[in-house]
Structure formats: structure tokens, C-alpha cells
Amino acid sequence: LNLILLGPPGAGKGTQAERLTEDFNLPYFATGNILRAAVEEGTELGRKAKEYMDKGELVPDDVIIGVILERVQGDDARDGFLLDGFPRTIPQAEALDQALSDLDRALTAVLLVDVPDEEVIRRLSGRRVSVKTGRVYHVEFDPPKHEDRCDVDGSRLIQRDDDKPETIKNRLEVYHSTTEPLVGYYDERDLLRRFDGTRNPTEVHDHIRATVATLR
């Protein structure tokens, strides 16, 4: 199973990925998480990415493509993968197609989780994350058992730097102008599966899992 999760910021890609990787035992590569970890560690990648991320802009293609292809081509991903946050531009999608065809492989499906802009704003404004475990919460829709602490290990929950109102607005604009064209790109190739992301996380998960189960 070579799968992509596509959708606007705050659609619930990370939330669903956490469940799907368990269902199907897939290695999970999320470019946002990889970049945030690089920023945290102060690596060269992190230094290059930070200014773009803070503004809600995309990191340049030549910075991100190598990072993700290396993982897709790695041993861990030999039997499949789940990508979240990549590709986000047509050139990224083309680079991924080329890399997979070099390996004699192809995408299985692109899972589009769609939600309207107003819902994105509600979700991102209330999101809290544990930097340690990566677990994602929402103050209203998916609250932790103890305020500001992760259920898994009690680590502190924070608000992401790019979840400020102006940055959310810009991320939505970038999604519509630059990433949404991928919907057509994959639909033309008969790879696109659409899911209504406005339902609760368990319902969304049930729908996606049922569809992916038919693809094996």
C-alpha cells in the first residue's frame, strides 16, 4: 500500500494517519513533523525551513523533495508507506511519480480529507500538540484527560507556532492556490478517493479504513 493523505491544513490528516498506520502497519512520513523536528534540533534543514513555516509558506521544492524521497526509497518503506503533507505542489507529485517508477512501484491511492475553510480555522485555533509524542488534541473536539498534558506520557501540550490567525489564513491561501491542483492531478490518474472530513474522527476513520481495506 503506497498511500498519500491529502487535504487542507487542519483537515485531520495527522489524526487519521495515527489510526491508519496502526490498522495497516505502514511506515508514516509526515513532512510537517519531519520539518518541525529539524527546526527543534537546529539542523541545516531546520534552519532553511523555519522562516517559511512561520509565515505559513511552503518550503521550496528543492529543500523538501530530497528529504522525502530518501525515506520513500529507504528499506522501511519497501512494503509500503503513508505520506502526510507531501506532495503539496505539482513538481513534488511529479518527483514522487518518477522515484516510484524508478523502483517499479506506483501509488495505490490518494486519500483526500476535505473540510471547508471555516472549519479549518476552528480546528487550528483550538489545536494543542505534544512535541514529545506527536499526539494531537483539540481543546473542544478532542480534549486531553488532564489540561495541557498529553495522555500518553504527561508531556506538556503546546500551540503550534503556525496556528496563529494570520498564519492560518495564509496557509489556507497557499493550499487553495498551490496544493489543491493536486486533486485534479490525481483524479485524472484515477487515484483519488474523497472523504468528508467534517464528520467526527472515528467516522472519518471508519470510512477511510473500509476503503483502504478494499485496496489491498
Nearest residue to 26 via CA among 89, 93, 76: 76
56 touches Zn ion (CB under 5 A): no
CB 83 within 8 A of CB 29: yes
Measure the CA–CA gap between 204 and 114, rounded to whole angstroms: 10
User: Which residue in this structure is represented by grid cell 511552503?
Assistant: 58
Q: Which residues 1-20 are close enough to bind ligand AP5 by CB under 6 A?
A: 7, 9-15
Stretch 56-95 residues interacting with ligand AP5 (CB under 6 A): 56-59, 64, 85-86, 88, 92
**Region at 114 (left for phi over 0; alpha for psi -120 to 50; beta for the rest):** beta
Q: Is 136 in the site for ligand AP5 (CB under 6 A)?
A: yes
* Count of CB atoms situated within 10 Å of the CB of 143: 13
Per the DSSP assignment, residues forming a β-bridge with 114 are 196
Q: Which of 36, 88, 135, 193 is catalytic?
A: 88
Among 127, 135, 193, 207, binds ligand AP5 (CB under 6 A): 127
Judged by CB under 5 A, which of 14, 56, 87, 197 binds Zn ion?
14
Q: Which residues are catalytic?
A: 13, 88, 127, 160, 171
The residues of the shown chain that bind ligand AP5, judged by CB under 6 A, are 7, 9-15, 31-32, 35, 52-53, 56-59, 64, 85-86, 88, 92, 123, 126-127, 136-138, 141-142, 162, 171, 200-201, 204
